A and B are shown apart, each in its own frame.
Chain A
Amino acid sequence: GAVVSQHPSWVICKSGTSVKIECRSLDFQATTMFWYRQFPKQSLMLMATSNEGSKATYEQGVEKDKFLINHASLTLSTLTVTSAHPEDSSFYICSARETGLVWQPQHFGDGTRLSIL
């Protein structure tokens, strides 16, 4: 089945550091990938939709300059949390949908736990 790989699994860093998270679709091409944020015991909240070769679409309230998204190829999207602060600590999850199959469900990576000290 479809596999989405997310890296790294866990990041601990100092306040003010920028952190990059990668999301790769391993056995399919994904024109569109999605980035979610999840706080403990809460649901997934969509942050942005990443579109290959174009700008990401951000949900209301998500700072574009804070959460930089790059989708340079059909199998890779990256999320960079710039100048991270403790309030950015969270579980970040990406998902991908196979290109050309609009109604195919999203497949998720295993998430990245970000802890800012």
Chain B
Amino acid sequence: GQQLNQSPQSMFIQEGEDVSMNCTSSSIFNTWLWYKQDPGEGPVLLIALYKAGELTSNGRLTAQFGITRKDSFLNISASIPSDVGIYFCAGQLTGNQFYFGTGTSLTVIP
């Protein structure tokens, strides 16, 4: 199946700093999703995006659906230690076709 390119692969930041990560694809997606996964657990949905250009916030998280529909980014403002985890983007082509990004591992240093 398809895989989305996510960058950076890993990040080490100081508590309080802002974080930005992005996801790109050669394919056009109809929906973009961002998930966070803690070790040994399933991914948890953070933000869902349904329209090109859409900018959506969820607390300190902001995500945008790229205008070309081939990319998306996620920003986390004022990071805190509990933001640690692996963040995955996911693109949806049709109702049953979801593809995940390669993941961004985030470490927040207190």
Closest to A101 in B: B95
Distance (whole angstroms) from the CB of B79 to the closest CB of chain A: 21
- Is residue A57 within 8 Å, beta carbon to beta carbon, of the partner chain? yes
Q: Is the interface of A mostly helix, strand, loop or mixed?
A: strand
B100 touches A43 (CB 8 A): yes
Q: State the interface size on chain A (CB cutoff 8 A).
A: 29
Also in contact, A59 and B40, with CB within 8 A (given A105-B33, A105-B48):
no
- Chain A 67-98 per-residue mask, 1 if CB under 8 angstroms from chain B, else 0: 00000000000000000000000010101010
- Is residue B3 within 8 Å, beta carbon to beta carbon, of the partner chain? yes
Residues of B within 8 A of A20 (CB): none
A46 touches B101 (CB 8 A): no
Q: Which of A32, A45, A103, A111 contacts B42 (CB 8 A)?
A: A111
A93 touches B103 (CB 8 A): no
Residues of A within 8 A of B96 (CB): 32, 34, 49, 57
Cα–Cα, bound, A108→B41 (Å) = 9
B41 touches A43 (CB 8 A): no
Residues of B within 8 A of A106 (CB): 33, 45, 90, 98
A108 touches B44 (CB 8 A): yes
Q: Which of B35, B42, B45 contacts A110 (CB 8 A)?
A: B42
A45 touches B1 (CB 8 A): yes
With contacts A4-B42, A103-B31 known, what are 20 further pairs, Cβ within 8 A? A41-B105, A42-B103, A43-B100, A43-B101, A43-B103, A45-B1, A46-B99, A46-B100, A103-B30, A103-B50, A103-B92, A103-B95, A105-B92, A106-B90, A107-B45, A108-B35, A108-B43, A111-B40, A111-B42, A113-B40
Q: B residues touching A (Cβ–Cβ < 8 Å)?
A: 1, 3, 30-31, 33, 35, 40-45, 48, 50, 88, 90, 92, 95-96, 98-103, 105
Q: Which 4 A-B pairs have the closest CB atoms?
A: A108-B42, A102-B95, A110-B42, A44-B100
